A and B are shown apart, each in its own frame.
Chain A
Amino acid sequence: MFFQHLANALSVGSLYALIAIGYTMVYGILRLINFAHGDVFMLGAYIAFYLVSAAVMPWWVAFIVAVGLTCLFGIGLEKVAYKPLRDSPRISIMISAIGASFLIESLATVLFDARPKAFAVPDLFSTVVNIHGVSIVSVSFFIPAVTFALLAVLLFIVHKTKVGMAMRAVSTDQDAARLMAIDPNKIVSFTFGIGSLLAGVGGIMWSLKYPQLLPLMGIMPGLKCFIAAVIGGIGSIGGAVLGGFLLGLIEIMVVAFLPDLTGYRDAFAFVLLIVVLLVKPTGLLGKNQGEKV
């Protein structure tokens, strides 16, 4: 029984971690909470749904194409909604993010129709595996595996490549990076691309686990992953992953061990956020960013 809950917590946690990384990376570079991130996640799921329904390519190709399109959408979103406000006060760009979020949700409601759509889950992901009396859907194994694989690739890029070094430079001090012949625009686009790519993957995997698409499906996960990123330390990739897993674990364990409080499950995420902000405002793995003179 406990093992069942743990397996579930692991897959939910990986999903949260994947989306939280996108939030944290964008914050690290632009000091912007991209509120539209949850909606990019939603678009990834819908694009995959339509590509698979069109049945013009095998599902795994459709997924890759969907992720690619989501990535391009994220880059486009940045160019349209955030780049023009790069030199404006931070509040303006945040409001733009909120506006973008509403716009994407409303467009999705109009274009895709508010009725829930059933995601066609390939058999590979829907087989039920039985281990020592614990039933687990195969997709619950794929999700952590994909998450960790992508995380490894991401950390390699950030720490071992020139682009990664440029990203870290721009996140530390944008003007100094410009003096080092780094074009911040390209780096910002690249960061958004990666974040949106991860959101796209997250959206597809979410739909494989919960095969019901709604235009507003990105709101709650987006909010919870934002909390996960803040809890882990906003700006830190490791923190986002930690926050994601922690949140997933707490959510599942609350329902498992306090069954009378299942109605308050979402509330626990927010309570945890408040507690962490009171005790350690920079998050669990966040660095104390002192004032630079």
Chain B
Amino acid sequence: MKRISLVIGATLCALALVACGNKAAQPTTIKIGVFEPLTGANGAGGADEAEGVKLANALYPKVTVGGKEYQIELVVADNKSDKVEAANAATMLAQKAKVNAVIGSWGSSLSMSGGPIFAESKIPAVGASCTNPNVTKGNEFYFRVCFLDPFQGEVMATYAFSKVGAKKAAIIREVSNDYSVGLAKFFSDSFVKLTGDPKAIVAQSDYNTGDQDFNAQLTNIMKSKPDVIFAPGNFTESALIIKQARQLGIKTQFLGGDTWDENAFLQVGGKEVEGAVISTFFANDVPINKTSEIFLKEFRAKYNKEPAAVAALGFDAYLVILDAIKKADSTDPVKIRDMIAKTTNFEGAAGSITINADRNAVKDAVIKVVKDGKFQYLTTVKP
């Protein structure tokens, strides 16, 4: 008994010493929070976006403010693809790590979970790929460097109507995901307007995050014989949906949004997702400007693989914050926020970024198709 208490006592003392040692924080660092899902259903998307941020940090790790040189440190907070965990992660970044700015999150619902916390702590957050309008609406501290879903829905509806020649569409949406529900609605409104037929959406089916069996939903949709199926859910379920659709003998064209632009989608989908068309932010085979080329070259050198589109956006978000810090010449989060709001014609890897009064960026959309197991660039659509 005595020996055990001695061991416990010694361990506690050692722990106390270690804890004391870590308290001395470096005064010359600026901390940027990386608010992403690294585990859970959206783990792949978040990890890809974080890679873009880390690349930017490796390329531009220092900034000079007020004549003093600061090291930019990334503080990674995994929101675990869960809305409750997102709030916890945001709180950790805002109150414990006391970051000066935040990048993230992949997944609009997760960004919306963290948004109020960042606003309350007056820390600016820059979303890289979250496209739902509600992320920045009403939140003075949330910005984004990507386009919005009303635009994206319109892009896909126009593609369906003009290029596929569809008159009837079916929608499968991930009902527990704000992004999916929002984008489905924007697509639906656009499509109805284009066809002039209020009944143009002939079937709509729902599923939950994490579901793996969609045969029942697909069988129901089959009955209405749509010309095109729009499935704006996350890549994890979408790949399975298309696979099961093909196995059921459904040959209809599938359309999706930016969440499909992931390697995991291609791997799980296999040969069944050939021909799927998506709208997204960036195409590796069509660099937009000089920054795109730098990004592509450095990413391929550092990670030895092709970047996901969201990595380019993560990269841009970091650069926008860096630029704002330089222009504000301050490490004060509120001053940084004010400068982010004034970003104009900033050359990012995924295109030119101008932050408008709604704290959103007006960007082009890129349409890609799955061909031979890879995403291939089709065309660019301007807003």
A residues whose Cβ falls under 8 Å from a Cβ of B: 1, 4-5, 8, 12, 109, 113-118, 126, 128, 130, 135, 137, 210-212, 214-216, 220, 251-252, 255-256, 259, 262-263, 265-266
Is A212 a contact partner of B240 (Cβ separation < 8 A)? yes
Is B236 a contact partner of A116 (Cβ separation < 8 A)? yes
B residues whose Cβ falls under 8 Å from a Cβ of A: 38-41, 43-44, 47, 175-176, 205-208, 210-213, 215-217, 219-220, 223, 236, 239-240, 243, 246-249, 264, 267-268, 270
Known A-B contacts A109-B39, A262-B206, A263-B208; A212 and B268 likewise in contact (beta carbons under 8 Å): yes
Is B220 a contact partner of A115 (Cβ separation < 8 A)? no
A114 to B85, CA, bound (A): 16
By DSSP majority rule, is chain B's interface helix, strand, loop, or mixed? Answer: helix
Given contact pairs A4-B219, A116-B267, A212-B240, a sample of 7 additional A-B residue pairs in the complex whose CB atoms are under 8 Å apart:
A8-B213, A114-B38, A116-B44, A211-B240, A212-B239, A255-B216, A265-B211
B355 to chain A, nearest CB (A): 31
B132 to chain A, nearest CB (A): 18
B343 to chain A, nearest CB (A): 32
A47 to B105, CA, bound (A): 32
Is A262 a contact partner of B43 (Cβ separation < 8 A)? no
Is B40 a contact partner of A212 (Cβ separation < 8 A)? no
A255 to B219, CA, bound (A): 10
Is A255 a contact partner of B217 (Cβ separation < 8 A)? yes
Chain B positions within 8 Å of A252 at CB level: 213, 215-216
Is A4 a contact partner of B215 (Cβ separation < 8 A)? yes
Known A-B contacts A4-B219, A259-B217, A262-B206; A116 and B247 likewise in contact (beta carbons under 8 Å): no
Known A-B contacts A114-B38, A212-B268, A255-B217; A1 and B223 likewise in contact (beta carbons under 8 Å): yes
Is B217 a contact partner of A115 (Cβ separation < 8 A)? no
Is A5 a contact partner of B219 (Cβ separation < 8 A)? yes
Give the most central of B243, B246, B247: most A CB within 10 Å: B247
Is A5 a contact partner of B40 (Cβ separation < 8 A)? no
Chain B positions within 8 Å of A263 at CB level: 175-176, 206-208
Is A114 a contact partner of B175 (Cβ separation < 8 A)? no
The 8 closest A-B pairs by CB, nearest first: A114-B43, A255-B216, A114-B39, A135-B249, A115-B44, A118-B267, A210-B212, A263-B175
Is B239 a contact partner of A262 (Cβ separation < 8 A)? no
A12 to B208, CA, bound (A): 17
A128 to B215, CA, bound (A): 14
Residue of B nearest to A2 (CB): B219
Is B240 a contact partner of A137 (Cβ separation < 8 A)? no
B205 interface neighbour in A5, A113, A216, A262, Cβ under 8 Å: A262
A12 to chain B, nearest CB (A): 6
Known A-B contacts A12-B213, A135-B247, A263-B176; A116 and B208 likewise in contact (beta carbons under 8 Å): no
Give the most central of A8, A116, A117: most B CB within 10 Å: A116
Chain A positions within 8 Å of B236 at CB level: 116, 212, 214
